[in-house]
Amino acid sequence: MSKKPVILVTRRLSDEVQQRLSNDYEPIFNSDDHVFSKSELIEKCQNVDGVLPCHSEVFSSDVIAALPARLKVIANHSVGVDHVDLVAAKDKGIIVTNTPDVLSDATAEIAILCMLAAARRGSEGDRMMRAGAWDFWSPAFMVGVQVTGKRFGIIGMGRVGQVTAERARGFGMEVHYHNRRRLDKVEEKGAIFHDSVDGLLGHADVLSLHCPVTPDTSGFMTTEKFDLLPDSAIFVNTARGALVDEEALVAALRSGKLFAAGLDVYRDEPGGNPELAALDNVFMLPHIGSATRDTRIAMGFRAIDNLDAVFAGHEPKDRVA
């Protein structure tokens, strides 16, 4: 009987996923679910055939250079792959995969939650109730923004963006989007395409980010971009914190240019941004866009499907490098 491939699993996954890994591979689990340091990650990768990491593990060029020749695949438990130097991996002959599609519904739900909570001052209301401080009411009390019938702007009309657009249509919102390519008419479903980010921004009463982090998009939401939004717009980010100049976001929220923001991602994770946390008009979640039981099982199984393909000598479905 041939020896099963040894797979490093960097974080605690669902029981179903870990059981399937145990059936088909020799997994090395992270029993206490801690974040590996760079040196620990390199050390633990030395005697394995593959690694199943999350976005919390950074495979920079120097980490990849230190990986052994026997390591064939980095099968990410994530859609985003900005934590992996894809060029370095390709140059070293390491296959890199991700888990698209299966988390689209869950992430779209979080985007809509962030939009509604930001628009209707959910964070303020929740804190008030928990503190026992609700002692007043009038027609002018806790007035927010109604999103029904407003314009919903999307940057990044991939699978998550398209599902989020569908959810926004449920509120009678008019969908506008910018994408690297225009969708066909069937995919657009009446959404209005803008061939530049700047062209989109003036049409977004709510702006929702669903694009990956690349050298072109890192920090692209600057003061100049926020200034192009309509006054009192809502800003939503469930993609990656690195897309945003957070100082510019804080300034836009403080000045009233933005009515509010709903955020699930930050430049520094875990932890977030204390300046954002201090603002009443920010609704914040701790990067839980895909955190449903069904989705996490599906993500794990998708990653294992990619491992199965690699070790069977086939092309993995979700190869990105």
Three-state SS at 51 = strand
What CA–CA distances, in Å, run from 218 to 5, 93, 241? 36, 26, 9
Residue ranges, the chain, pLDDT below 50: 1
Catalytically active residues are 240, 269, 287
Q: Quick one: which of 230, 227, 232 has its CA closest to 245?
A: 227
What CA–CA distances, in Å, run from 232 to 147, 240, 309? 12, 23, 49
Q: For strands 233-237 and 282-284, give the pairing.
A: unpaired
Full-model pTM: 0.95
Instruction: Determine phi and psi for 96, rounding to 5 degrees.
Output: -125, 130
Q: Quick one: which of 260, 265, 237 has its CA closest to 250?
A: 260
Structure tokens given for 294: 């069904």
For residue 2, what pLDDT is reported? 60
Structure tokens given for 11: 């974080």
Q: Quick one: which of 1, 4, 3 has its CA closest to 304?
A: 4
Q: Read off the pLDDT of residues 203-245 as tens digits, 9 standing for 90 and up.
A: 999 999 999 999 999 999 999 999 999 999 999 999 999 999 9
CB 160 within 8 A of CB 166: no
For residue 1, what pLDDT is reported? 42
Q: For strands 50-52 and 192-193, give the pairing.
A: unpaired
Name all domains of the chain by residue range, CATH numbers in brackets.
Answer: 6-102+293-311 (3.40.50.720), 104-284 (3.40.50.720)
- What is the rounded distance in angstroms from the CA atom of residue 89 to the CA atom of residue 297? 26
- The H helix count followed by the E strand count for the chain is 13, 12
Q: Read off the pLDDT of residues 295-314 as tens digits, 9 standing for 90 and up.
A: 999 999 999 999 999 999 99
What are residue 319's DSSP bridge partners?
Answer: 97
CB 23 within 8 A of CB 308: no
What are residue 258's DSSP bridge partners?
Answer: 233
